[in-house]
Amino acid sequence: MYTYSDFDAEFVRNRNAQFRAQVNRRIDGSLTEDEFKPLRLMNGLYLQLHAYMLRVAIPYGTLSSRQMRQLAMIAEKWDKGYGHFTTRQNIQFNWPKLQDVPDILDALAEVEMHAIQTSGNTIRNVTADHFAGAASDEIADPRPVAELLRQWSTDHPEFQFLPRKFKIAVSGSENDRAVLRAHDLAVQIVEKDGQQGYRIFVGGGLGRTPMIGKVLRDFLSPEDLLPYVEATVSVWNLLGRRDNKYKSRIKITVHENGIDTVRDKVEARFAEIKPAFTGVDQEMLEGIKAQFALPAFRNASIEALEAYRAANPAFRAWTDTNLTDHQNDNYAIVSISLKSHGKTPGDASADQMRVMADLAERFGHDELRISHEQNVILPHVHKADLPEVYNTLRDAGLATANIGLISDIIACPGMDYCALATARSIPIAQQIATRFDELKLEHEIGALKIKISGCINACGHHHVGHIGILGLDRAGVENYQITLGGDATQVAALGQRTGPGFSADEIIPAIERIVYAYLDLRTDADETFLQAFNRVGMSPFKAALYPAQSKAA
Amino acid sequence: MPKPFQPSVVTANHLLDGDVIYQTAADEWSRNLSDAEVLTDEADAQIRLLHAQSQPAVTVGAYLAEVALSVEGPEPTHFREEFRKTGPSNYAHGKQVGAAPGPLEASEETI
């Protein structure tokens, strides 16, 4: 894992000292709220519905056990004993007090963490495939590139007052687990003629105008990465609209100007700035890569595992859903579900954080990952250790066997916390999970991703859910629109709206009707919901959703 | 034609902990909607709002929120204000537990 340089440590320390003084000046009345707000947002501090919220970056979703324990400590000492993992690999604390935030930031700095650029019109936390460095299908670990981009983008003087926020994701695999095509800019490590390089996507995004990212450059040589990304952000910084915040993201710039025009401008700017990049960045990248070297995998027999699986059905079910192939055959990637039926998606208590930290330290080469799907990953677990890992997770309420299933729901905080929300998300997720658990249908249904947003800004990624749910305020009543057929992977697609929305009371039965329609029409148990939708289209689902209208028609 | 002025209360978030607070007739701040001063005259409401906005050491983002009048006092007319009054629905946090509702301590108001 990357370790802070002296420069990093001093930068964060100085920023924290500045913010401490800014908080003091706000409290003693020297700063107005209008003056203070941009300063707190630069440091990840929002004011939400009931309290402040501190959003802490987890760069490329990677945490050590020490960092996870510190998050647990912060949750207990300054919050209400839990944290909320988000769809951009951040953790949010929902109840900090203003005067405690400088101390929280200092506690984060002790473990090389911060909340800088988790808000505001800046380049945000750089995210990555949560299986990075472990996945069997990976060309290369994307995290060194993500770390290089993090260093380059942090406090970059040209990019502190962008037209709007700018989100970057990086992946090292053809199978997209990082929702590359829904990011302002994405970097995919690819191979061409035996050479590694990068494919660059631009102009993806969800929100009120969802767009699938387009290829800006199909193959970029490694040494051109930083100047090319800098050229892209630079072009948008000038070309992007500042007259209307709903039209300011780069997806609109690409849409309005066309990808070819944007590409021409980027190439021109790239040619201009490339000579200034003399190769120092490549030396830095090599240094960063060394810090992401694979752990020393151990050799041990995995013969006992099959017998243990055969004798323990619950363990077997968990291994069926929550494990992913590791690049080392004796290892597995363990996904820890933060989606226990009826619980808040993405929340972990301080005790649970410590359990996961202990497991990472004892059995996981001291690494944890946070996924954009709001789960926690132990990327390197030797298969011989899986029974003990499972039993420990089970005792902590963390062994729900539902990864990729209907109850593994992404949900934004919604109107239970968020000042921007137009409806609640969390209770809808809780009720769907509880309902399908009661029906004992979850495993029968198979792979199905439900994603819920409590407003049009789409933090819950509803556009790319197989079933997407969008909560709106319709004349003072919560109303939920459904989209079907969204896909967050390398064949990204935006879901299509089914029709009129449903009230909070109607939405769970509506989801049930969709699921039963799927079970009725699928060719066999191997045809997933998404495959079935792509085969038959919207009509059968519409008929199931709106029976009265379809009879009348 | 503009909508006639509806009974309203002045509400904001508290500077130090962000909690939802309401302006009372006694010119204090309360965490409890039932203590709020109900304003029925628009001009009067604007003056009370300006008064709230002039207290940056206590309030953040003061605004007028519509209420309905009941025997128990003012009640929210919109679900957003209901959640602000009550707290989140997934945990018994915020106003549902902890600090008893009522007037803020003088020390809380002035730091």
Among candidates B77, B88, B111 on the partner chain, residue whose Cβ is nearest the Cβ of A50: B88
- Please state, in angstroms and rounded to a whole number, the distance separating the CA atoms of residues A218 and A198: 7
- How close is the nearest chain A Cα to the Cα of B26, in Å? 23
The domain boundary, picked from A110, A128, A158, lies at A110
CB pairs under 8 A between A and B: 74
Looking at the structure, do residues A274 and A202 belong to the same domain, yes or no?
Answer: yes
Looking at the structure, do residues A429 and A509 belong to the same domain, yes or no?
Answer: yes
**What 8-state DSSP symbol labels residue B62?**
E
Looking at the structure, do residues A264 and A340 belong to the same domain, yes or no?
Answer: no
- Please state, in angstroms and rounded to a whole number, the distance separating the CA atoms of residues A29 and A270: 46
The per-residue DSSP string of A251-279 comes to HHHHHHH-HHHHHHHHHHHHHHHGGG--S
Tokens 């709020």 label which residue? B36
- Please state, in angstroms and rounded to a whole number, the distance separating the CA atoms of residues A124 and A167: 5
Structure tokens at A204: 């993806």
Q: Which of A29, A21, A100, A419 is nearest to B55 (CA)?
A: A29
Looking at the structure, do residues A347 and A386 belong to the same domain, yes or no?
Answer: yes
Residue A92 near residue A83 (C-beta atoms within 8 A): yes
Q: What is the CATH number of the domain that holds A478?
A: 3.30.413.10
Looking at the structure, do residues A237 and A314 belong to the same domain, yes or no?
Answer: no
Residue A173 near residue A137 (C-beta atoms within 8 A): yes
Among candidates A32, A416, A476 on the partner chain, residue whose Cβ is nearest the Cβ of B88: A416
A129 in a domain, yes or no? no
A131 in a domain, yes or no? no
Which residues of chain B have a Cβ shorter than 8 Å from any chain A Cβ? 13, 15-20, 56-57, 60-61, 77-80, 83-84, 87-91, 93-95, 111
The domain boundary, picked from A363, A395, A427, lies at A395
User: For position A550, what pLDDT does the model report?
Assistant: 62
A402 in a domain, yes or no? no
Looking at the structure, do residues A275 and A353 belong to the same domain, yes or no?
Answer: no
Judged by a CB distance cut-off of 8 A, whether residue A501 touches chain B is no
Residue B22 near residue B32 (C-beta atoms within 8 A): yes
Asked if B88 lies within 8 A of A473 by C-beta distance, the reply is no
What are B12's strand-pairing partners?
B21
A126 in a domain, yes or no? no
- Please state, in angstroms and rounded to a whole number, the distance separating the CA atoms of residues A406 and B88: 24
User: For position A547, what pLDDT does the model report?
Assistant: 87
Q: How many structural domains does chain A have? A: 4
User: For position A386, what pLDDT does the model report?
Assistant: 98
3-state secondary structure of A438: helix
3-state secondary structure of A454: coil
A495 in a domain, yes or no? yes
A404 in a domain, yes or no? no
Q: How many CA atoms lie within 13 A of A189 on its CB side?
A: 22
**What 8-state DSSP symbol labels residue A173?**
B
The domain boundary, picked from A244, A265, A291, lies at A291
The answer to whether residue B98 scores a pLDDT higher than 60 is no
Q: Which of A542, A452, A531 is nearest to A496 (CA)?
A: A542
Looking at the structure, do residues A264 and A151 belong to the same domain, yes or no?
Answer: yes
A239 vs B107, residue with greater confidence: A239
Q: Name the residue of chain B whose CA is nearest to A422's CA.
A: B80
Residue A284 near residue A226 (C-beta atoms within 8 A): no
- Please state, in angstroms and rounded to a whole number, the distance separating the CA atoms of residues A160 and A356: 36
Residue A276 is part of which domain span? Answer: 142-291
Tokens 């929120």 label which residue? B65
Asked if B88 lies within 8 A of A417 by C-beta distance, the reply is yes
Judged by a CB distance cut-off of 8 A, whether residue A29 touches chain B is yes
- Please state, in angstroms and rounded to a whole number, the distance separating the CA atoms of residues A166 and A118: 11
Judged by a CB distance cut-off of 8 A, whether residue A416 touches chain B is yes
Asked if B17 lies within 8 A of A477 by C-beta distance, the reply is no
Helix (H) or strand (E) holding A513: helix A504-521
- Please state, in angstroms and rounded to a whole number, the distance separating the CA atoms of residues A45 and A38: 10
Q: Name the residue of chain A whose CA is nearest to B85's CA.
A: A50
Asked if A51 lies within 8 A of B60 by C-beta distance, the reply is no
Asked if B78 lies within 8 A of A476 by C-beta distance, the reply is yes
Banded pLDDT at B12 (limits 50, 70, 90): very high
Looking at the structure, do residues A444 and A528 belong to the same domain, yes or no?
Answer: yes
Q: Name the residue of chain B whose CA is nearest to A51's CA.
A: B18
Q: Which residue, among B17, B53, B55, B77, would best test binding to A if mutated, counting the most A CBs under 10 Å from its CB?
A: B17
For the segment B63-83, the average pLDDT, to the nearest whole number, is 95
| Dihedral pair phi/psi, residue A121, rounded to 5° | -90, 65
Q: What is the CATH number of the domain that holds A70?
A: 3.90.480.20
Helix (H) or strand (E) holding A62: strand A62-63
For the segment B25-40, the average pLDDT, to the nearest whole number, is 97
Looking at the structure, do residues A197 and A326 belong to the same domain, yes or no?
Answer: no
- Please state, in angstroms and rounded to a whole number, the distance separating the CA atoms of residues A88 and A374: 9
Looking at the structure, do residues A358 and A283 belong to the same domain, yes or no?
Answer: no
Banded pLDDT at B72 (limits 50, 70, 90): confident
- Which residues of B fall within a CB distance of 8 Å from A415? 79-80, 83
Structure tokens at A126: 């750089």
Looking at the structure, do residues A199 and A227 belong to the same domain, yes or no?
Answer: yes
What are A138's strand-pairing partners?
A173
A47 in a domain, yes or no? yes
Question: One digit per residue, pLDDT tens: chain A, 553 residues?
Answer: 899 999 999 999 999 999 999 999 999 999 999 999 999 999 999 999 999 999 999 999 999 999 999 999 999 999 999 999 999 999 999 999 999 999 999 999 999 999 999 999 999 999 999 999 999 999 999 999 999 999 999 999 999 999 999 999 999 999 999 999 999 999 999 999 999 999 999 999 999 999 999 999 999 999 999 999 999 999 999 999 999 999 999 999 999 999 999 999 999 999 999 999 999 999 999 999 999 999 999 999 999 999 999 999 999 999 999 999 999 999 999 999 999 999 999 999 999 999 999 999 999 999 999 999 999 999 999 999 999 999 999 999 999 999 999 999 999 999 999 999 999 999 999 999 999 999 999 999 999 999 999 999 999 999 999 999 999 999 999 999 999 999 999 999 999 999 999 999 999 999 999 999 999 999 999 999 999 999 999 999 999 999 877 655 5
What are B29's strand-pairing partners?
B23
Asked if B79 lies within 8 A of A48 by C-beta distance, the reply is no
**β pairing state of A214-220 and A195-202:** antiparallel
3-state secondary structure of A344: coil
Among candidates A26, A47, A80 on the partner chain, residue whose Cβ is nearest the Cβ of B93: A80
Structure tokens at B47: 């003056």
User: For position B109, what pLDDT does the model report?
Assistant: 45
Q: Name the residue of chain B whose CA is nearest to A420's CA.
A: B80
Looking at the structure, do residues A315 and A421 belong to the same domain, yes or no?
Answer: no
The answer to whether residue B99 scores a pLDDT higher than 70 is no
Q: Name the residue of chain A whose CA is nearest to B58's CA.
A: A27
